[in-house]
Amino acid sequence: MGHAMGRVTDPSRGSETDAGDMATEQFMIDAEQAEAYEERFVPALFRQWVEPVLEAAEVGPGDQVLDVACGTGVVARAAVTLAAPGGSVTGVDLNPAMLAVAHRVEPRVSWEQGDVAALPFPAGGFDVLTCQAAIFFFPDPAGALAEMRRVTRPGGRVVVHAFSSLHAQPAYGPWVEMVTHHAGPEATELLGTYWSQGDPSALADCCADVGLRVLAVRRHTRPAFFPSVEAMVRTEVNATPLRDRLDVPTLDRMLVESHELLETFVEDGRLVIPIAGYTLSATP
Ligand SMILES: C[S@@+](CC[C@H](N)C(=O)[O-])C[C@H]1O[C@@H](n2cnc3c(N)ncnc32)[C@H](O)[C@@H]1O
């Protein structure tokens, strides 16, 4: 998951809140990184979550749909046919490079630049709002949920997707434990952003605080694909400051142990890691 799961050099992050600097510092990605996200990371991980997200969203003909933190638009573009005829789909993201790729791939969606902290839309304009694989990046998740609630009409649906906590990840959890053994306790934090909204009941409490009534929480497990165990380890390490902390012998030992830990997830040479996550649907 490190291809898009790193804490600092992760191109899919819209803002940087690394230790020591909790101020939001915009982290813009370039066109090449956005293309890489679409070509490699969407098929490796993100595409697998579109089905459960749109199932929970129950998009139907005529719906006005907003996909928040849309990235290159994997959810938004799948919603286009569901909302037709008569509906429309808008995708909003902080990063213009992501939006440029999104526009090239699917011009029928209205792509807008904006921050979830202050969505550039009037109140109550959308029937359905989705937010896939992004809530854990937001410096103020409660503020983000309040904005999602504001732009969704009363009786509409807000669907937020997140990955489960590390302890609930069958492959990734033990792997991070092993890395922590070699690289020290900070490794858990460095590799931890993607799992930081892993508790749906905490997110549900947050929803209640901003006036969103939770309708359902559904847990799912979906595969993430890597070319090999070694590719996964190297991507994870290179995507984080772990890169600078590990000497070659330590990295070699980690590689050996990674093969042992993950061998049951190798299929025809390819690593197929189960990723646990959930969708939470709520209504204003
Ligand atoms: C892991 S990507 C997920 C993208 C897309 N939802 C998907 O499933 O492929 C996270 C996205 O969140 C966006 N993002 C991060 N912080 C944001 C913010 N404050 N407002 C809007 N978008 C944000 C990033 O630019 C990035 O495109």
Q: CATH no. for residue 258?
A: 3.40.50.150
CA–centroid distance, residue 209 to ligand 1 (Å) = 23
Token match 């459960």: residue?
52
What's the DSSP call for residue 135?
G
Residues in the chain: 284
pLDDT at 8: 33
Residue 22: what pLDDT? 30
Does the C-beta of 70 come closer than 6 Å to ligand 1?
Answer: yes
Give the residue whose CA is nearest to atom 20 of ligand 1: 115
d(CA 136, CA 198): 9
Q: Domain tally for the chain?
A: 1
C-beta of 38 in contact with ligand 1 (< 6 A): no
The DSSP letter of residue 118 is B
**What pLDDT is recorded for position 234?**
85
Which residue, chain included where needed, has tokens 């940087």? 16
Q: Which domain holds residue 200?
A: 2-283
CA distances from 197 to 50, 137, 201, 267 (A): 18, 9, 10, 30
Using CA atoms, how far apart are residues 10 and 172, in angstroms rounded to an integer? 18
Ligand 1 contacts CB of residue 137 (under 6 A): yes
> Would you give per-residue pLDDT tens digits along the chain (284 residues)?
544 433 333 444 444 333 333 323 345 788 988 998 999 889 999 999 999 999 999 999 999 999 999 999 999 999 999 999 999 999 999 999 999 999 999 999 999 999 999 999 999 999 999 999 999 999 999 999 999 999 999 999 999 999 999 999 999 999 999 998 888 888 887 788 889 999 999 999 999 999 999 999 999 999 999 999 998 898 888 777 777 888 899 999 999 999 999 999 999 989 999 999 999 999 99
Closest Cα to atom 16 of ligand 1: 14
241, 264, 278: which is closest to 174 by C-alpha? Answer: 264
Nearest-angstrom CA–CA distance, 164 and 116: 22
Q: Which atom of ligand 1 is found nearest the CA of 50?
A: 8
**Neighbour tally for 55: CB within 10 Å:** 14
Give the pTM: 0.90
* Whole-angstrom distance, CA of residue 33 vs CA of residue 122: 31
CA–CA dist 137, 26 (Å, integer): 12
Question: Would the CB of 69 count as within 6 Å of ligand 1?
Answer: yes
